[in-house]
Amino acid sequence: MNAFLIQETLTACTWKQLLSSKDPYICLVTYEEWKNRKTDPFPMTETDSRMFEYYATKAEVGFDSLSGSFSIPDRNDLDNDDIQFSFALDEKGIVFVDDSGFVGKTLDNIARNKKWNKPSLERFVYDFLDQLCKDDLRLMESFELELDEIEEVLTNDETEFSSLSLNAIRNKTRRLLVHYDQLIDLTLELEENENGFFKEEELHYFHKFHNRVERLSSIAESIRDYTLQLRDLHSEQIDMRMNHIMTILTVITTIFSPLALLTGWYGMNFRYMPELNWENSYPILFCFSIGIVVVMLWWFRKKKWL
C-alpha cells in the first residue's frame, strides 16, 4: 500500500499520519489489498466488486462514495490492450486499485512536477485526469504528419502505396474517440457532484478538463474524417487507373479488329481469290494494315480517348 497527503505537493505518508491528518489523502493498493481491506483507512463501505469491471472508463454514484474504473488506451502503442484500474472516492480522499503500475508512475510524476497554492482533492483529480491526456496533442500531430505524407504520395500518383497505414491510423483514432466519450461522461458525473463530495467553487476544474477532452475529441474526429477522405481519394485513383487500363485494352482491341478481319478474310485461301496471285499482294496488304492503325490512332487522339 502507498499513501499520500494532498498538501502543497503530493506528500508520501504513513497510515498513522493519514488517519490523523485533516488533509485529503490518496491511497494506492493492489486488488488483493483492497479485497482484504480494513474499514478504518477506507471509509467507502458501499463500494463493491463492480468497480473492477474494466471494460470502460466510467463512474457510479453510491451511498457514501463515487466509484468506477478506467480503461485507457496505451499511448505508446495503441494496438496494445488498455491500461485498466479502479478508483473510489469520497470527500476525504481517493483510493486507487491498480495492478498495472500505471497509477504509481502517474502519482510519482505529479509529486515531482506539481506544486499547489491551494491544494484540494478537486485539484488533484484534475491533475490526475490531465496526466491521462497530456501527450495526446503531440500524438494527434504525429497522425496529421503521417496523413500529410500519405496525401502527398497519393497526389503524386505513386503506385507503391499501401492502405494499411491509413487503416491503422483510422483504427487508433477510433479507439481514442471512444475513450474521450467515456472520459466526458465520467467528467460530467464529477461535475454533477451528486453526493456533495466536492466544493462548489472547485468544480470549475472538472469543467476545464471537460472542455479540454471535447477539443481533443474534435481533433480526433477531424483526423478520422481526414483518413476517410484519403481512403476515398485512394479508391478514386485505383478506379481511374483501372479505367485507363480498360481504355487502353479497348483501343488495342478496336485497332486489331479490322486487322483480324483481314487476316481471317485472306486466310480462307479460296482457289479463285485473285489477290492471292498478285505479285504485290503482301506489301499492299501490309501498307493497308499500317494505314488502318495510323488512321485509328489519329482518330482516338482527336477524340481524346488516348
**In this structure, is residue 228 part of a structural domain?**
no
Domain endpoint, select from 75, 103, 118 = 118
The two beta strands, 93-97 and 25-29, are: parallel
Please state, for a pLDDT cut of 90, what percent of the chain lies above it.
34
pLDDT tens figures, 138-179: 999 999 998 988 888 887 765 556 667 888 889 999 999 999
Domain count, the chain: 2
Can you tell me the distance from the alpha carbon of 76 to that of 78, in angstroms, rounded to the nearest whole number?
6
**Of the candidates 62, 71, 76, the residue with the CA atom closest to the CA atom of residue 98:** 71
Per-residue model confidence (pLDDT) at position 251: 81
Q: How many CB atoms lie within 10 A of CB 95?
A: 27
CATH number at residue 284: 1.20.58.340
Can you tell me the distance from the alpha carbon of 156 to that of 255, in angstroms, rounded to the nearest whole number?
32
**In this structure, is residue 89 part of a structural domain?**
yes
Return the DSSP state at 165: H
Structural domain boundaries, residue 41: 1-118
**In this structure, is residue 45 part of a structural domain?**
yes
Long-range contact set of residues 241-246: C-beta below 8 Å, sequence gap at least 24: 241/159
Long-range contact set of residues 292-301: C-beta below 8 Å, sequence gap at least 24: 292/255, 292/258, 292/259, 293/255, 293/259, 296/254, 296/255, 297/255, 300/251
Rounded mean pLDDT, 174-196: 92
pLDDT tens figures, 225-282: 999 888 888 777 778 778 878 888 888 888 888 888 888 877 776 777 777 777 787 8
**In this structure, is residue 51 part of a structural domain?**
yes
Question: Cα dist. 27→9, 74, 119, 138, 294 in Å?
Answer: 15, 23, 17, 31, 87
Say which residue, 112 or 35, is predicted with more confidence: 112
CATH number at residue 107: 3.30.460
Check if the beta carbon of residue 71 is closer than 8 Å to that of residue 82: yes
Say which residue, 223 or 49, is predicted with more confidence: 223
**Of the candidates 105, 104, 98, the residue with the CA atom closest to the CA atom of residue 34:** 98
**In this structure, is residue 8 part of a structural domain?**
yes
Per-residue model confidence (pLDDT) at position 237: 77
Can you tell me the distance from the alpha carbon of 49 to that of 119, in angstroms, rounded to the nearest whole number?
31
